[in-house]
Structure 1
Amino acid sequence: MKPTLKISETVINRLTSVREPCLGNLFGVFYNKTQYIIGLCLHFDDENSQIVQHFPTEVELCGIFELKDTIENVIITDNPLYLKVTIGAISDVQASFIVNNKLEAATIDILTEEYLYSQFLHIRLKAQLPLICNPAEDNIKDALQELRQHFEGKVAFQCQKEHVFLLENGINGISSDSTVGDLCKQQLMGNDAFNKNNTTLDVLQVDMFKKVSQEVITEPKKNHAPILCVDKKKYESLVMVLNLDALSLIHRNLPLKNVYEILVSSLYRNIVIIKRTILKHFQQSGGDHSKISYPEIFHFYPQECGHFVTRVYSKNESECSLGTKNMILNWNKVRHFVTRVYSKNESECSLERDRKNLHSRLLLSPTHPIFRRVNKYLFKGEHHNNSPLINPHEGVKPTTNGGDIGIARGIYKYYHYNQDKMEDNGWGCAYRSLQTLASWFHLQGNGLDLPNSGEEVAAKGPELLNHFQMHGSPIMIGGGVLAHTILGVDYNRQTGSIKFLILDPHYVGNENLQVIQNKGWVGWKGPEFWDKTAYYNMCLPQVPRCV
């Protein structure tokens, strides 16, 4: 019996936007006779087994896709799912399951991001493991491989904020019949629905505990005198503390008792990508272990993908060489977590080729950086309590103008009156708006260009819409009257009507998202919002095309 097939709309959008023939892999999660397709990657024989290590655990290779100019010449593969897309035909996406070397047509259900994460949630597991070994390449490989022995039956997992322990042979602190969704409700109960991230993703935080006691041995032991062996010679060793940070994508109805093995597998994946990074830098250093930098794990959630991607980067590389200038974050197109491990000494310039390759393989735009350190996903609790809110416009009531909508891409911080213990009520709106724009560039890694200017704000609908679609940066507006930040426009080309998504820096109060949204400090405004008797200057930051 064929399973039900649900494909993420972000996968469909990326496939139908390609204009060249190509072949690639499909990735997803199988649960309860349903195959969920949430990711893809162009096909490269030498890297097919590696890319899945950068996705959350439980996301696996489950099929292939092929883009062609015609619908002929269907190929047969060893993967159970085959997706065929005709180039230039937006609605021509055909799915088949491969059964006994024959294609059986399948019906596609489009999977929205909201539905996907109403069914699934993420578990984030953080742990530390020591790495001590001889500084030779083979010894490093063996030591990293032996780290797996730290997990097999020797660890337990505790859900943060709850006295719930997941053990190899059971669970403690909650009913044995409980599901992952039950634990999520219990852990998130009482949390403010409006948080700094304003994210809809539920992420359970889990810690790892190592077993320190020995197994009870029933057989009698033979006592003998202690034996000590001393090898007198000069000895060097590589000593590191590896900070593991692993993600898993798990259905909410999965019994908790089945989660233990998944968490162990997520640690295995983490070690694999860390091992790859350490060995790469060991080889680049010419075998000098003193030049090996601590690897850092980064999780990215590009909206265009629809799932997390994990990467490992080197820690001590200067951000100057990382090319943090001229960077754009295209959050409107990537919708899954991407995790990267970066060596601490690795520059963004040296990583540019790697990023370009990843953009190409995931069918992402080459004009918007999404895998730099500054692009990492901010989990709940990673903000300071009194830090400015991020993206407070997310969740406002939608506009009813019925036109084409352009919204600022990326993330920004909301600056307004009386922040940072500075009394600027009545005079600080302009620089607060400038702070908001500067925060957008900082969080995207861009440098500011000279602004454009214009008058008659309501008549600038086409230009403003084009700006948000092309550049995606917030617009600062002010001059003869109070200053504001424009986060988006809804311009109806048929009627000429326009509405503006306005962020007001004149708000005085605590960082309360619900008050800010309900009281209109961020929201859609009509042309009457602007003073027709005053002049306005607009700063429309232009951003370069790069990765």
Structure 2
Amino acid sequence: ISITVVYPAVQEVAVVCSKAEDFHRRRNTMVDLVSNVHAGLPHPLPLGKCSQILGDYLYFHYGCDGVDDRGWGCGYRTIQSVASWLCSRDGAASQKNQVSPAPSLPHIQQALVTMGDKPGSFRGSRGWVGSFEASLVLDFFYGVPCKVVHVRGGELQRVAVPELHEHFDTRGSPVMMGGDRDNSSKCVVGVCTGEEDSYVLVVDPHYYGPKPDRAELQRRGWVGWRKLSSLDQTSFYNMCLPQTADVNTD
């Protein structure tokens, strides 16, 4: 099942700070963010079909802006990583990666309240967000509609893999993925398929601590290729695929 969510971009949102205001408010707490944390990882199947994102993104993770969101903020961090890719595509990302061009956690919550998706009590809460909310937020802030694909338990290979290959080959943007039994948000930036199994390239937002380096994140498994069969086959998954311009269109 796939759903394309189209929400008109909002031009004036009084409750959302400008980029300059956001910079001054957060610059003392935001740690430097690492870009393209998957770079340098070899393909798990040298002879398999592999598809990956095109372009640059920043790695958002628990606590990266001074907010201790462990246990509830992984979906927000994945949204921020995807948003940074959208901004980088337009040349809006900071070259030093000191401040990310992505909505803050309060901005995301306020946007969902403004759109009527969440009640006013959602502001300032520890309420979770998933792939559907991600589709609303990315369209709200960037005017990018998203395709939301629901994958039933046990159908990752049949449904998710071809969707991911097509998406990375035509759109090139990161994908947000999460489920019910497996409710840990994942930023997926690649897929690789062989004869016996497939792999997804996962950027995990659950890291918490000082600024890591790319090699450390890869060594400790915060980013890496994961066998599709290692995911919970009894869980359903929702994937949010930003419908950016077709990379194959001249």
TM-score w.r.t. the length of structure 2 is 0.60
Pick aligned residue for 1:485 from 160, 178, 187: 187
Write out aligned runs for 1:314-463 (5 A).
386-400=31-45, 402-445=47-90, 447-455=143-151, 456-459=155-158, 460-463=160-163
RMSD of Structure 2 on Structure 1 (CA)? 2.3
8 Å CA contact 2:38, 2:224 repeated in 1: yes
CA distance in 2, matches of 1:533, 1:401: 29
Q: Distance in 2 between matches of 1:458 and 1:449?
A: 25
Q: Paired residue for 2:93?
A: none
Distance in 2 between residues matched to 1:527 and 1:424, nearest whole Å = 27
- Which letter does structure 2 place at the counterpart of 1:521? W
Q: Secondary structure at the match of 2:189?
A: strand
User: SS state of the match for residue 242, structure 2?
Assistant: coil
State the 1:401 CA deviation: 5.9
- The Cα shift of 1:388 comes to 1.2
Q: Does the 8 Å contact 1:401/1:499 carry over to 2? A: no
Counterpart amino acid of residue 84 in structure 2:
S
Contact 2:43 / 2:50 at 8 angstroms: preserved in 1?
no
Mapped partners of 1:510, 1:461: distance in 2: 34
Deviation at 1:447, TM superposition (A): 3.8
Secondary structure in structure 1 of the residue aligned to 2:190: strand
Instruction: Tell me the CA shift for residue 496 of structure 1.
Output: 5.4
8 Å CA contact retained: 2:45, 2:193: no
Give the drift of 1:463: 2.1
Aligned to 1:527: 228
Name 1:540's counterpart in structure 2: 241
- Give the C-alpha shift of residue 396 in structure 1: 2.2
How do residues 21-60 of structure 1 correspond to structure 2 at under 5 angstroms? none
- Structure 1: which 5+ runs fail to align? 1-324, 326-384
- Listed one character per residue, the Cα deviations across residues 107-128 of structure 1 (whole Å, up to 9, x for unaligned) are xxxxxxxxxxxxxxxxxxxxxx
1:424: how far off? Answer: 0.6
Q: Structure 1: how far apart are the matches of 2:178 and 2:205? A: 12
Q: Offset of 1:529 from its aligned partner? A: 3.1
Cα distance in 2 for partners of 1:496, 1:464 equals 17
- Distance in 2 between the 1:503 and 1:407 partners? 12
- Secondary structure of the structure 1 residue equivalent to 2:202: strand
Which structure has more RCO (C-alpha within 8 Å, separation ≥ 6)? 2
**Whole-angstrom CA distance in 2 between matches of 1:448 and 1:529:** 32
Cα deviation, 1:43-66, whole Å, max 9, x if unaligned, reads: xxxxxxxxxxxxxxxxxxxxxxxx
- 1 CA distance for matches of 2:206 and 2:234? 21
CA distance in 1, matches of 2:211, 2:68: 16
Aligned to 1:506: 206
Secondary structure, counterpart of 1:395 in structure 2:
coil
Is it true that 1:465 corresponds to 2:181 in the alignment?
Answer: no
Distance 2:197 2:235 in 1: 21
Once the two structures are TM-superposed, the CA of residue 530 in structure 1 deviates from its matched residue by 1.6
Greater radius of gyration (CA): 1
| Secondary structure of 1:469's aligned partner | helix
Residue 457 of structure 1 aligns to which amino acid in structure 2? L
Supply the distance in 2 between the matched residues of 1:439 and 1:457 (Cα, whole angstroms). 27
Separation (CA, whole Å) in 2 of partners of 1:484 and 1:401: 24
2:174 corresponds in structure 1 to 474
Gaps of 5+ in 2: 1-8, 10-29, 91-141
Alignment: residue pair count: 163
Structure with more helix by fraction: 2
Distance in 2 (CA, whole Å) between partners of 1:496 and 1:541 is 29
Give TM-score scaled by structure 1 length: 0.28
CA distance in 2, matches of 1:537, 1:496: 24
